[in-house]
Amino acid sequence: ITVAAPREPAPETRVALVPEVVAALVRAGYRVLVEAGAGVAAHYDDDSYRAAGADVVPAVDLAEVDVLAHVSPLPAAALARLREGAVTVGLDAPLDDEERLRAANGRRVTMLAFERLPRTSRAQAMDVLSSQALAAGYRAVLEAAVRLPRFFPLAMTAAGTVPPAKVVVLGVGVAGLQAIATARRLGAKVAANDIRPDSAEEVRSVGATFIDVGIDPAAGSGAGGYARELAATAGERQQAALAPHVADADVLITTAAVPGRRAPLLVTGDMVAAMRPGSVVVDLAAASGGNVEGSTPGTDVTVPSSRGGGPVTIVGLGSAPSDLPTDSSRLFAKNVANVVALLTDADGALSVPLDDDIVAGMALTHDGTTRGADGAAVPA
């Protein structure tokens, strides 16, 4: 089986295969092709791929690839050049891009989309959304810490005592939990809220205080361990209950998401303005609609504090995993290699086992047809 990784288009800095994972694939009998320069932005040079056993080529001949691993969605033109029956593994959003789906189906290419991976324990080793959310949660706290005009930790010195920063985290999935852990390591006092029933226990287990907003647990619990969109009244009640906690925070980090929907608006402009001057808000959902009114992906926005004394800064994080490309790529590549193992039959040949719930779940296209989230063919 030939596995390949292209050079990703800018501004993406991650790469779908790293030398360490290439070495493991080559040891297991795979042939690996890597486009020259593919790892440069993530600080993996061509020589390190060669040393790991990859063929580093000026341009990957797509006609000889069995499995093409990628970070950003592949252009339709690349899908159309793959050999019949090849498989792609990577991030594919938006999943309903007709041009790409048509190009893949035209070549009977199986597109395996990480966005469609089932959230089961067996799938955790392949969960790109989780591995990349880790980077996002970590990075969000660092971005806040460098902008905050105060310390995170308690400091007791001869010159007096500095109290610890107060951090509030809204949305406690993979990114939120990592944000809590990172803020705690820096010495902050952390409180957090989520609407999934299990989240209170998860928040306490990582040493933060749970903010109870009095929402019926059933209202926030959706399918597959994800959250569900709250009814408008529950959303308003949540905002009102969160307002005093937000007003008292030095740092607010928001990560709330509902699969397939616009991110819920949790924090209004008035709630931001009620924060102390110098406070920092980091919105990890900025690119998917924003949890915070006024946040803009990739830039800082300032809002005057109604308490006087200067503005509150809202940081709209762009792609945090791409800001940590070395480790984000390492985790991504491990996730990819675990999917490749599922595509390998007992004789070491390529197979697409649709009786495997992970492969079936991820398959966006197969054998010339587009597949819905339920696995059924989507009428053209």
The region of 13-21, 160-168, 194-202, 308-316 touching ligand NAD under the rule CB under 6 A is 194-202
245-304 binders of ligand NAD (CB under 6 A): 255-259, 264, 266
The answer to whether 238 is a known catalytic residue is no
Residue from 35, 127, 143, 250 touching ligand NAD (CB under 6 A): that is: 127
The region of 21-29, 129-137, 275-283, 318-326 touching ligand NAD under the rule CB under 6 A is 129-137
Three-class secondary structure of residue 346 per DSSP: coil
The region of 71-79, 95-103, 221-229, 320-328 touching ligand NAD under the rule CB under 6 A is 221-229
What are all long-range contacts of 75-78, with beta carbons under 8 Å and residues at least 24 apart?
75/100, 76/100, 76/102, 76/103, 77/103, 78/6
Strand order in the sheet with 363-366: 55-57, 31-35, 2-5, 67-70, 87-90, 110-113, 363-366, 369-370
Q: Decide: is 172 part of the binding site for ligand NAD (CB under 6 A).
A: yes
The answer to whether 226 is a known catalytic residue is yes
Among 377, 346, 348, 371, which Cα is nearest to 359's? 371
DSSP string, 8-44: PPTT----S--HHHHHHHHHTT-EEEEETTTTGGGT-
Q: Minimal CB distance to ligand NAD: which residue?
A: 173
Three-class secondary structure of residue 95 per DSSP: coil
Q: Compute the distance between CA of residue 152 and CA of residue 187 in angstroms, rounded to an integer.
A: 6
The answer to whether 45 is a known catalytic residue is no
The answer to whether 119 is a known catalytic residue is yes
* Candidates 48, 81, 147, 226; catalytic one: 226
130-169 binders of ligand NAD (CB under 6 A): 130, 133
Residue from 10, 94, 121, 161 touching ligand NAD (CB under 6 A): that is: 121
Interacting residues with ligand NAD (CB under 6 A)? 119-121, 123-124, 127, 129-130, 133, 170-176, 193-196, 225-227, 230, 255-259, 264, 266
Which are the catalytic amino acids?
Answer: 119, 124, 127, 130, 226
